[in-house]
Amino acid sequence: MSSALDDRSTVTPPRPPADRHTRGARFLLLLAVFLCAACGLVYELALTALGSYLIGNSVLQTSVVISVMVFAMGVGSLAAKPLRRRPVVAFAVVEGVLALVGGLSVLMLYAAFAWLQLYMPAMIVVSLVVGLLIGAEIPLLMTLLQRIRKQEASSAVADMFAVDYIGALVGGLCFPLFLLPTFGQLKGALVVGVVNAVAGVIVVVFIFRRQTGRLAKAGLLAGVTVVLAALGTTYVLAEDLEMTARQHMYADPIIHSETTQYQDIVVTRSTAFTGEPDVRLFLNGDLQFSSVDEYRYHESLVHPALSGRHSNVLVMGGGDGLALREVLRHEGVRHVTLVELDPAMTRLARTFEPLRKLNHGALDDPRAKVVNADAFTWLREARQQYDAVIIDFPDPDSASLAKLYSVEFYDLLRRVLAPHGQVMVQSGSPFFAPKTYWSIAKTIETAGYATTEFQIDVPSFGNWGFVLARPGTEAPPLRLAPDTPKLRYLDEAVLKAATVFPVDRRRTDVRPSTLMDPAVLEYVLDEWRDY
């Protein structure tokens, strides 16, 4: 009997039910945890996206940001141990500084890139600071949670991290689906900074107001007010600040700029040395064309591919409509499908007068059908067959673009290519990036095509190469169709000369590119870094 009584005496007495005040305080604190987690993940995504827009190489940008931030979070957690003596004040200060640094992070990095050309060092420093501050949050929040109501450590950790992970999920989804399309990168980061500051205010003003001295509370509220004022002022001036920084990166006046969920689009215009207006399109800072000589590129890209049958044509990429313009010049063309990922690009090509004038309103031609979709995904579901395919993607300087230069992509392409069909692929510069160029050619051959390689010179961006291909083992002849309209640059003699490569630009020993081994991404980053 005594033994039984002893056992009962060791049982933990039931915890009294929490009162309404305690439940409300816990809810507000867990709400602060939720907001902090969401904000932290948005800062991380904003930094990786900005790096991809400005300098490409999304794999490297993502790896550096995540690894530096995770490391810094661990250091921040350790550094926060002494701060647990005054957790309320410490948390409010951490949130205020994090809101300011995180909110201004995109602007600071954009300025570092535009004026100082120090993007990577600046990105590492900002990631380090943001990671330290995020890491300091959890120990402080855990201490505050235990102050409201004592509970076992395992239970407190479970509650804290459950809400933290849910907040990270919401933040991760909000960035591409809401913040980026609604506010853009710069303003979106500022909005998140405001939310971060509000999370600190919730803790000080509503939860622990009785445990915070008047002087400390007044100082913290004044600090948060300064942070909110700084973020608000920057928000009002954001467009002017962004335009000033962006204009510094471009030699000519900017006439249009926008950042979409896929890319940064900039159009400039100036009076070229010939006296003609020179309209230039840049995607993520890379020149896509100059109106002074773009016809050289687009005539070479399109017309040799249409030397065979060309009643039904597929154009992949080329959202500016210039390749489509050249396709529609052939009277034998009955239908063209244009597949472009970014709807903002096709909208601009259709409605922005400088681009519409260049493409001759091609996107509104009754023979043209515009599809906004990822080319790889679209090909997997496509069933119609095409006589000719024109591929005008940007250079493969990111993982998302490298997949469009893979063996798997060209395997999918064969399913929609008629047995007699031909494919033309823009393939980068044999002069500036010979390994990239010949890797693209080898990739196409590995997928079961015979190829004919050639190169041209475009004064605005130099030497450029193309690969003409068709299924089988017989290389396609490089020629023009009988119904080819009068061209400004290309004729049979130019095409014949274009197949001759100097010794230092001829085929090199390179690997084909696959989804699992994106060789073109490796080559293009190595080669362009040298220049």
The domain limits of the chain are 20-249, 293-530
pTM of the model: 0.81
Residue 30 has pLDDT above 80, yes or no: yes
Residue 3 has pLDDT above 70, yes or no: no
Report residue 138: phi and psi, to 5°. -60, -50
12: confidence class by pLDDT, cuts 50, 70, 90: very low
529-to-356, 509, 521 alpha-carbon distances in Å: 34, 20, 12
- Residues classed as catalytic: 392
Better-scored residue on pLDDT, 259 or 529: 259
Q: Determine the pLDDT at residue 259.
A: 85
Amino acid at 107: L
461-to-75, 104, 296, 297, 465 alpha-carbon distances in Å: 46, 34, 11, 10, 12
Nearest residue to 260 via CA among 363, 190, 179:
179
435-to-60, 122, 353, 371 alpha-carbon distances in Å: 20, 31, 38, 32
The residues pairing with 131 across neighbouring beta strands, listed in sequence order, are none
- State pLDDT tens for residues 449-497: 999 999 999 999 899 999 999 999 999 999 999 989 999 999 999 999 9
From CA 298, how far away is CA 374, in angstroms rounded? Answer: 22
Contact present, 99 and 196 (Cβ < 8 Å):
yes
From CA 139, how far away is CA 129, in angstroms rounded? Answer: 17
Residue 331 has pLDDT above 80, yes or no: yes
Give the chain's length. Answer: 531
- State pLDDT tens for residues 270-305: 876 667 789 999 998 889 999 999 999 999 999 999
- Is 375 a known ligand-binding residue? yes
Q: Determine the pLDDT at residue 36.
A: 93
Amino acid at 144: L
Which pairs count as long-range contacts for 21-27, CB under 8 Å and 24+ apart, including other chains? 22/148, 22/149, 25/148, 25/207, 26/145, 26/148, 26/149
Q: How many CA atoms lie within 13 A of 188 on its CB side?
A: 29
Q: Does domain 293-530 have CATH number 3.40.50.150?
A: yes
277-283 vs 264-271, strand pairing mode? antiparallel
Q: What is the CATH number of domain 20-249?
A: 1.20.1250.20
- Is 340 a known ligand-binding residue? yes
From CA 463, how far away is CA 76, in angstroms rounded? Answer: 50
The rounded mean pLDDT for the chain is 90
Residue 16 has pLDDT above 70, yes or no: no
Q: Determine the pLDDT at residue 117.
A: 82
Alpha helices (H) along 290-398: 294-302, 322-328, 343-351, 353-359, 375-381
Q: What is the mean pLDDT of residues 81-106?
A: 92
Question: What does the DSSP assignment read for 449-505?
Answer: EEEEEEEEEETTTEEEEEEEEEESSSPPP----TTPPP-SS--HHHHHHHT---GGG
Report residue 56: phi and psi, to 5°. 70, -160
56: confidence class by pLDDT, cuts 50, 70, 90: low
- Is 263 a known ligand-binding residue? yes
> b/e per residue, 249-270, with b = 16+ CB within 10 A?
bbebebeebebbbbbbbbbbbe
- Is 320 a known ligand-binding residue? yes
From CA 263, how far away is CA 181, in angstroms rounded? Answer: 11
6: confidence class by pLDDT, cuts 50, 70, 90: very low
10: confidence class by pLDDT, cuts 50, 70, 90: very low
- State pLDDT tens for residues 107-154: 999 999 888 888 889 999 999 999 999 999 989 999 998 888 887 878
Nearest residue to 263 via CA among 188, 345, 189:
345
From CA 120, how far away is CA 113, in angstroms rounded? Answer: 9
5: confidence class by pLDDT, cuts 50, 70, 90: very low
- State pLDDT tens for residues 303-328: 999 999 999 999 999 999 999 999 99
Residue 11 has pLDDT above 50, yes or no: no
Contact present, 346 and 372 (Cβ < 8 Å):
yes
Q: Determine the pLDDT at residue 293.
A: 94
- State pLDDT tens for residues 361-410: 999 999 999 999 999 999 999 989 999 999 999 998 888 899 999 999 99
157: confidence class by pLDDT, cuts 50, 70, 90: confident
From CA 171, how far away is CA 160, in angstroms rounded? Answer: 16
Question: In 3-state terms, what secondary structure has residue 361?
Answer: coil
